[in-house]
Amino acid sequence: MTGDFLAVIGRERLERVREDARRIPLATLRSEAESRRGEQRSFLDALRRPVGARLRAIAEVKQASPSAGTIRADYDPAGIAERYAEAGAAAISVLTEPNRFRGSIDDLARVRDRVSLPLLLKDFVVDERQLYEARARGADAALLIVGLLDQRQLEDYAALCIGIGLDPLVEIHEESELERALTVLGAIGVNNRDLRTLQVRKGHAEALLERIPPERVRVAESGYRLREEIVRLESLGADAVLIGESLLRQEDVRTGFEALFGPEAEER
């Protein structure tokens, strides 16, 4: 796909959200979200890496992506999430964008029913409805993409997340976005993928992670496939890595997970 992918998908998501609003009133979602008060599993606590511990993994479930096409034909998000949990993942990311990633908020609800790990809503958040719906369906955290939101939206959505029991994962793609990301609470994620071209820039996250204050939870995202890359992130002080495609392409995702991170009980 050519052009500014982030801008295009942002418009698509807003159109879809407005269509959904005709079916389910915002007041209903807000009430359902508030009914889960007290149920939150702390995403930030799960990701914070003690000294000497192995890198925490946010293991992702998704069926497809614009850059890779269909990743897993036999897609069972809840079953895959269970295998991740058995292998030692710290949290599960559920890709819910429907058009280009073939996800669904129902996928998140299915995963919630099967695993006890914190769940991240992985989507392109452009409206508060998405946050209320995520909490209503069992999410514990939500992705907020700095490049998709203006400063007022970023601040409002981060505050809303915290108010309803979602930990923000504030994602940047460029060094110029870091200052804005640090104005709100939450983990800071650095995505290697250039969302204009969809190309992965090797080492991009590593270069920016060192500029994030150590008191913030620091997450590297996209393109990690090798054990030595995981070790490198650990040496740089990253808390966690968000990883999906390289695991999902394995016949057994647990075996693929352990090849990257080591057996579940292993800590260095």
Just list the catalytic residues: 60, 62, 122, 171, 191, 221-222
- H-run or E-run covering 233: helix 227-235
Q: Cα–Cα distance between 213 and 219 in angstroms, integer?
A: 12
Q: For residue 92, what are the CA distances in angstroms to 18, 85, 114, 141, 201?
A: 27, 8, 11, 10, 24
Contact 184, 155 (CB under 8 A): yes
Residue 202: Cβ within 10 Å count: 11
Mode of pairing for the β-strands spanning 119-122 and 141-145: parallel
Q: What is the dihedral of CA 119, 123, 237, 118, to 10 degrees?
A: 0
Q: Cα–Cα distance between 26 and 202 in angstroms, integer?
A: 41
Q: Cα–Cα distance between 92 and 21 in angstroms, integer?
A: 27
Q: Cα–Cα distance between 135 and 96 in angstroms, integer?
A: 13
